[in-house]
Each structure stands twice: as C-alpha cells, then as structure tokens.
Amino acid sequence: MCLIAGGIGRHLKPKLMTMINSGKHRGRDSFGVWTDEGVLKSEDFSQITETPGGSIGLLQCRLAMAGSKSFTQPFFNNFVLVHNGEIYNHAQIREFLERKGVEFESDVDTEV
C-alpha cells in the first residue's frame, strides 16, 4: 500500500516533509513530490530535505506493484496524478490503446 498525500497553504515544504517521513514505511521503493514550485522524485529517502516549497503539493511514497521503480509518481503534464493500487488488466488496456496510436512513456500501470 502506498502513501498519497497533499496540501494547500503557505509554507508547505515542512508539512510535505513530515508527510513523507510519517508515511515512508507505506511505500519504501521511492517517493515523489509535485508542487507549484518544483518536482522531486527519488528512490533515496535521505533527499527529503530537497522537497520543493510552494503553496500546493501532491506526493506519493510508492510501493511498486507493477512497472519499474524508475517511474516514480506523481505523473504530471496537464494534470498531476498519483495512483494507489494495481490496474490488473493494464497490459490488455495498453495493447488496445497502442493499436489506436497512443504512445506511453513508461511501463507503469497508472499511465494507461
């Protein structure tokens, strides 16, 4: 089970760092933080102090169930997304979408 958390408010960095420290046992493979001031993704929890500041943030401590560890969430483009759980039929969905011309950046089930 992963940790998903977020916050809105001033001086968010220390709160995000506390969330990561408090929940890293729920997702030991990696952590990722997106804020309106930056992004940090790492498999090394000693980098928590590099968490970006900001006034809005979303994070995940990931326990990798499907896909490689190198694609730590949050995913972001037009939206910021974190996901907890496993999409069991993600291979079939991916194959269907690839036949329709969709291209993927990772092998992680969340991306489908």
Q: What is the CATH number of the domain that holds 12?
A: 3.60.20.10
Distance, CA of 93 to CA of 65 (rounded, Å): 17
Known catalytic residues? 2
Name the domain count of the chain: 1
Q: List beta partners, residue 67.
A: none
Q: Which domain holds residue 43?
A: 3-111
Burial of 27 (0-12, 13-18, 19+ CB in 10 A): buried
Distance, CA of 61 to CA of 48 (rounded, Å): 11
pTM of the model: 0.78
- Each of the 112 residues of the chain gets a pLDDT tens digit; together they read 688 999 999 999 999 999 999 988 888 888 999 999 999 998 889 999 999 999 999 999 987 766 666 678 888 888 888 877 778 888 899 899 999 999 987 777 777 7
